[in-house]
Structure 1
Amino acid sequence: MSFDGEQYPGVQAPTSDSQGFRLNHTMLRVKDPEKALAFYSRIFGMRVLRRLDFEEMQFSLYFLARLDANEQPPEDAAERTAWTFDQRGILELTHNWGTEQQDDFAYHDGNAEPQGFGHICFSVPDLDAAVAWFDANDVEFVKRPDQGKMKDVAFVKDADGYWIEIVEAARLKQLGD
């Protein structure tokens, strides 16, 4: 018998109508794309798969991913766009033009009142090495792995103040029932 998901009140069996659906990306609005792209490419090793500009509405979308060594996106821009929208685990950074020039401009991170959006998460192969890497690169911590009640989980902030959870999967086996 194969695993069919944990069951709780409200969970319903999927129908064939949703066959093939997959979560493709999560979008974060960023004030300054240069700072955001520097952070995600340098600190997390993500690559920009595709940039789409919408001049009439004055915003740009940057689609980033951390690809495995054997993954090779298509060179052709149209094919790469389609390929990008068929992936899993994509981060979309949305830049509304001009925000980078507004000194007092900031997006709500979702963790201050009123709470809403909370964080994105990266799984890393070695949490201690990741923490050392973040320290060496002056990444701001919200919580270190040895702080608080939930051990072996870290939270850092990106260039816009969004929280990023950092986990090492093998350390989390004891969570839950």
Structure 2
Amino acid sequence: MSFKGEQHPGVQAPTADSQGFRLNHTMLRIKDPEKSLAFYTRVFGMQVMRRLDFEEMGFSLYFLAKLDENEQIPEEKGERTVWTFRQKGLLELTHNWGTESQDDFAYHDGNAQPQGFGHICFSVPDLEAAEAWFDANEVEFVKRSDQGKMKDVVFVKDVDGYWIEVVQADRLTALGD
């Protein structure tokens, strides 16, 4: 691999100490696992790879992935846990028990003030087909691909109000400088 990354002020060369590091997952806190799992498995086709319950602390973790059809996943729970923590691009949904029964409970989506966390992103093979699929499943849009200054980029919300960017990679060649 000859490309070493873009160079900008503040970028430093990696050292051997970080060799083998990889981004494994991003975590979102969810109010109701049944609703969130239905959304991510149905709308985005993800699968739950592992659920970990922490009874003494009152929460559960759900690790979801969008895998290739020929991917080999271990059946045994311990091996699958190790496999899960070796992957790239997983989504961890964290459910603090009891939040699902609190009518006025909601997490900050990161996009309201004060802003912080912004969004996760899915790449799709056909952006128009994805938008039609979202419409058919009554997914809430923040922005459609033909709206705003950034064309060919869609933003939708999940059931907890988190933003999800949706892109078709081959339509982004002229994006940015």
Structure 1 runs (4+) deviating above 2 angstroms are: none
In the TM superposition, 1:25-174 aligns within 5 A as 25-174=25-174
Give 1:70 shift.
1.0
Give 1:72 shift.
1.9
Q: CA RMSD in A?
A: 0.7
Give, in whole Å, the separation in 2 of the partners of 1:83 and 1:169: 27
Give 1:95 shift.
0.1
Deviations 1:88-108 (A, max 9, x none): 010000000000000000000
Aligned to 1:7: 7
Give, in whole Å, the separation in 2 of the partners of 1:3 and 1:51: 37
Give, in whole Å, the separation in 1 of the partners of 2:125 and 2:18: 32
Letter aligned with residue 109 of structure 1: D
Give, in whole Å, the separation in 2 of the partners of 1:144 and 1:67: 26
Deviations 1:38-97 (A, max 9, x none): 000000000000000000000000000000011121000000000000000100000000
In the TM superposition, 1:13-24 aligns within 5 A as 13-24=13-24
Give 1:130 shift.
0.2
Give, in whole Å, the separation in 2 of the partners of 1:68 and 1:29: 26
SS of the counterpart of 1:3? coil
SS of the counterpart of 1:27? strand
* TM-score after normalising by structure 2: 0.99
SS of the counterpart of 1:129? helix
Give, in whole Å, the separation in 2 of the partners of 1:58 and 1:72: 31
Letter aligned with residue 132 of structure 1: A
* TM-score after normalising by structure 1: 0.99
In structure 2, runs of 5+ residues without a counterpart are none
Letter aligned with residue 116 of structure 1: G
Letter aligned with residue 72 of structure 2: Q
Give 1:176 shift.
2.0
Give, in whole Å, the separation in 2 of the partners of 1:93 and 1:38: 12
Question: Identity of paired residues, percent?
Answer: 81
Give 1:2 shift.
1.1
Letter aligned with residue 62 of structure 2: Y
SS of the counterpart of 1:142? strand
Give, in whole Å, the separation in 1 of the partners of 2:26 and 2:71: 20
In structure 1, runs of 5+ residues without a counterpart are none
